[in-house]
Structure 1
Amino acid sequence: MNNDAEYEALINGLKIVLEMGVRNLIAKSDSELVVNQVNGGIQARGPRTELYLRCTQRLITKFKEARLECVSKEKNSNADALAKIGSQMKAVLLGSIPLEIQEIPSIPEIEVMQVDEVPKETWMTHILAYIHKGTIPEDKFKAR
């Protein structure tokens, strides 16, 4: 879930600078994993992370030139301070920068396919029965 927050911050930042009309961008993050996934060095694992990665890459293609760089946590103190202020429920304004609470994720919810609880017979059914219970079907063809 921590990577979700990193992706959310990146996605929202990309949206803001696109609205401002920025065409060339160097974005910096202290999340080495997210930077490497976006830059193609590490494959995204899991359907949720894959959705975040695709959303980020879609936004990056809207820039004339964009680059994502990794910075150490020590060099990212200004961003951390903004994140802490933004996470306070009572914070409404930071100077002239309005803060808002994001109620829903930037990515769609993952649909889960329902699986029947009653297993249907397949070519593996008799093999599994033999392995687990030692039973052999009466039908010679199936037994073979």
Structure 2
Amino acid sequence: MVKDEPHSKSAWTFYLDGSETTERFGAGLILTSPNGFTIQQAITFAFKAINNQADYEALLTGLRLEKSLRVKILVIHSDSQIIVKQINREYIAKNQKLAQYQVMVRNILETILDTTILQINRVEKAKANEFSKLVQNSLDLSPSVYFEKLRAPSTGEVEILCITSPEN
């Protein structure tokens, strides 16, 4: 269930950011346990992704990790108004690709006892933003940051390129 108010000291916190530039597509996330244990992850995409898609990919990656850790209370922080409002059911995802992400995220959120998703400003999630923009490969990162390369979107869509040769 998604709510609007922050939680007590028993909540995990999750900061995320996706990034689209002309050269790179990536995301960053920071997960922090109630006792301060922090997991930092940078993700680079081997496919083109719009900013909202990159944010959804970061969100899904973090939620899968949270699910494996059996998190019961989670507070998610994102600067994406679209993502926050779609997850909170204030906006309808009209874009088919974003609608698929929205369904995937909601399905995972249903497995977590108590979830809040909040919209924040860029300053509040500067570190996740840094991870999302600087990664091209794991050599760019501190050894304490997990690195992942996504080969295809989580929605299962695969970009198919048609190669043609000149007629002889």
TM-score, normalised with respect to structure 1: 0.69
Alignment partners' CA distance in 2, 1:108 and 1:90: 24
Tell me, yes or no, if the aligned pair for 1:23 and 1:65 is still in contact at 8 Å: yes
Deviation at 1:77, TM superposition (A): 0.5
Within the alignment, does 1:47 sit opposite 2:66 as a pair?
no
Alignment partners' CA distance in 2, 1:67 and 1:53: 15
Q: What is the root-mean-square deviation in Å for CA atoms of aligned residues?
A: 1.7
Unaligned runs of 5+ in 1: 111-144
Alignment partners' CA distance in 1, 2:114 and 2:138: 37
Tell me, yes or no, if the aligned pair for 1:92 and 1:99 is still in contact at 8 Å: no
- One-letter amino acid matched to 2:149: I
Q: Which has the higher helix share?
A: 1
Within the alignment, does 1:105 sit opposite 2:160 as a pair?
no
TM-score, normalised with respect to structure 2: 0.60
In the alignment, which of 58, 64, 76 is matched to residue 27 of structure 1? 76
Unaligned runs of 5+ in 2: 1-49, 159-168
Alignment partners' CA distance in 2, 1:91 and 1:17: 26
Q: Which has the higher strand share?
A: 2
Alignment partners' CA distance in 2, 1:3 and 1:45: 13
In the alignment, which of 79, 91, 95 is matched to residue 143 of structure 2? 95
Q: Structure 1's 99 and 92: CA in aligned 2 closer, same or farther, altered over 3 A?
A: farther
Bigger RCO of structures 1 and 2 (CA < 8 A, at least 6 apart): 2
Tell me, yes or no, if the aligned pair for 1:91 and 1:99 is still in contact at 8 Å: no
Identity, % of aligned positions: 26
| Aligned residue number for residue 83 of structure 1 | 132
